[in-house]
Amino acid sequence: MADSSARKTHAESSPMLIIGTMVVAAFIMILNETIVSIALPDLAKIFEVSTPTAQWLISGFLVTMGVIIPITGFLLDRFSPRAIFLVALSSFTLGTLICATAPVFGALLAGRVVQASGTAVVLPLLMTSVMRLIPADRRGAMMGTISIVIGVAPALGPTVGGAVLAALTWRWMFWIVLILAVILLAIGFAKLHVPAKLKDVPLDVLSVILSALGFAGLVYGLSSIGDGQGPIPPWAALTVSAVALVLFVWRQIVLQREDKPLLDLRVLRVGRFRLGLTMSIIVFVALLGAGAVMLPIYLQAILLHEPFVAGLSLLPGGLTMAAVSRPAGNIYDRVGARPLVIPGAIGMTVALWSFAFLGDNAQLWMVIGCHMLLMFSLGLMMTPLMADALGSLPEQLASHGSAIFATLQQVAGALGAALLVAIAAIGSNVVAETPDADGVRLAFQAAGTIAVLAIITSLFFKSPQKPEVPA
């Protein structure tokens, strides 16, 4: 396909306008990921479902992103960024409308899936746009802004949700987001004109099917372990997932010989990319699994705080991460990732183990302090991990690297949420709609154990190097 610039009828927008518009859209979309987490106990009662089932409003959102994001490498090569952005935002807007008007739990979950279909495309589009439009010596600072989007937004989601629940009904969590989405859609139509070089690449439908079976089966299987009410046994879902993922990898290797993979797995041959990806997976288990799902459950079900108080308690941590993310990007531009990820991994581990030992009589200020430490530590790591991993790739692999990075981030978050909720349910002394103190403690201990792996992994980071070109 010819270069799209030959067919432009509008002047290209400035790089900062392009990035700025995408950042705001992505912030709202990612905020929407976790805005319902504070309302999960209430929604479980309203729709008469169990807590693990209600938790699918988050895990279902994340696993849908994990299914859709692998396709974005193809989309970014085949269609213009403007078209992708507008279609994604339109899908998100439609899904938000479905959620706001949902009469039953199934409709609410369906709306979340439609929302996620749009959100999934915006994240790798934003990452790829930064790599293409921003000079290398400024990418760390810009990635700091993106860290605010993908890190702070889900952290602030419970706070916003709690405030809305205190003043209005749960439906207003979606009506407010819908208004903002419509405004952004109008701005995108009027102002967003992005330069792009397009390629006529085919979409491998078999790869899409295998990816969907693999990632969806994995999260479903883990969620079902704690719920036990699903129509498919957990072992069956996990078996199908394992087979599908193996076949997906094999399929991509075959298609790479013809330069037609859905996801170009050659990016995994780059050592710095693999290292950053591994650390990012652990970070998202902590961010979305422990911070955005288990912590609101702990505050409400164990410490018995109202949704507004519980949500407000998470605000200092979100602001802490917002404050540290961009400075961390500036520091990365000067000294690289190692001086940031090592203390970040240690702080994350200490914070998660602290949650495990707080107990059912903890003072609120202690929870807030531990959460601030957790978010400060995650803020130190997220920017360097993205900048270092994606900056290690040659330009021709940037879109596929962004797709893989964003895919596994979201799947890691979904897996973290599903796994920790399942562990909490298994560790509880009684069978109930919500886990008890022993179950929540066990879940935080599991998260802390996983975080120890981050400390070990962080020691392998080295000084900045030039991009590696895989064979």
Q: What is the mean pLDDT of residues 78-85?
A: 80
Choice between 80 and 456, residue whose per-residue pLDDT is larger: 456
Structure tokens belonging to residue 137? 């010596």
CB contact set of 268 (below 8 Å; sequence gap of 6+): 274, 277, 404
Q: What is the mean pLDDT of residues 124-139?
A: 72
Cα-based distances in Å from 449 to 382, 411, 427, 464 = 20, 19, 16, 29
**149-153, 262-266, 270-274, 450-454, range with the lowest pLDDT:** 149-153
Whether pLDDT at 468 is above 70: no
Q: Which residue has the tokens 């139509």?
A: 189
- Type of residue found at 332: Y
Of how many residues is the chain composed? Answer: 471
CA–CA separation, 409 and 279 (whole Å): 10
Q: Looking at residue 337, what is its pLDDT?
A: 82
Whether pLDDT at 78 is above 50: yes
Whether pLDDT at 260 is above 90: no
Task: Specify the long-range contacts of residues 6-12, CB closer than 8 Å, at least 24 apart.
Answer: 8/193, 10/193, 11/193, 12/193, 12/194, 12/195
Q: What is the mean pLDDT of residues 301-306?
A: 82
Q: Would you place residue 7 in the very low, low, confident or very high pLDDT band (cuts 50, 70, 90)?
A: very low
Structure tokens belonging to residue 292? 């955005």
R_g of the chain computed on alpha carbons? 21
Q: Looking at residue 96, what is its pLDDT?
A: 92
Q: Looking at residue 195, what is its pLDDT?
A: 60
Q: Looking at residue 8, what is its pLDDT?
A: 43
Structure tokens belonging to residue 436? 């008890």
The ranges assigned to domains in the chain are: 4-458
Q: Looking at residue 230, what is its pLDDT?
A: 58
**3-7, 37-41, 76-80, 418-422, range with the lowest pLDDT:** 3-7
Question: Do residues 397 and 256 touch, judged by C-beta distance below 8 A?
Answer: no
Whether pLDDT at 61 is above 80: no
CB contact set of 403 (below 8 Å; sequence gap of 6+): 69, 70, 71, 72, 73, 76, 124, 263
Whether pLDDT at 407 is above 50: yes
Q: What is the mean pLDDT of residues 365-385?
A: 88
Choice between 289 and 100, residue whose per-residue pLDDT is larger: 100
Predicted confidence (pLDDT) per residue in 169-213, tens digit = 888 888 988 998 899 888 888 777 666 666 666 777 888 888 888
Average pLDDT value over all residues in the chain: 79
Q: Would you place residue 246 in the very low, low, confident or very high pLDDT band (cuts 50, 70, 90)?
A: very high
Highest mean pLDDT among 271-275, 348-352, 421-425, 464-468: 348-352
Predicted confidence (pLDDT) per residue in 358-371, tens digit = 878 888 889 899 99
User: Which overall architecture, per CATH, does domain 4-458 show?
Assistant: Up-down Bundle (1.20)
Q: Would you place residue 343 in the very low, low, confident or very high pLDDT band (cuts 50, 70, 90)?
A: very high
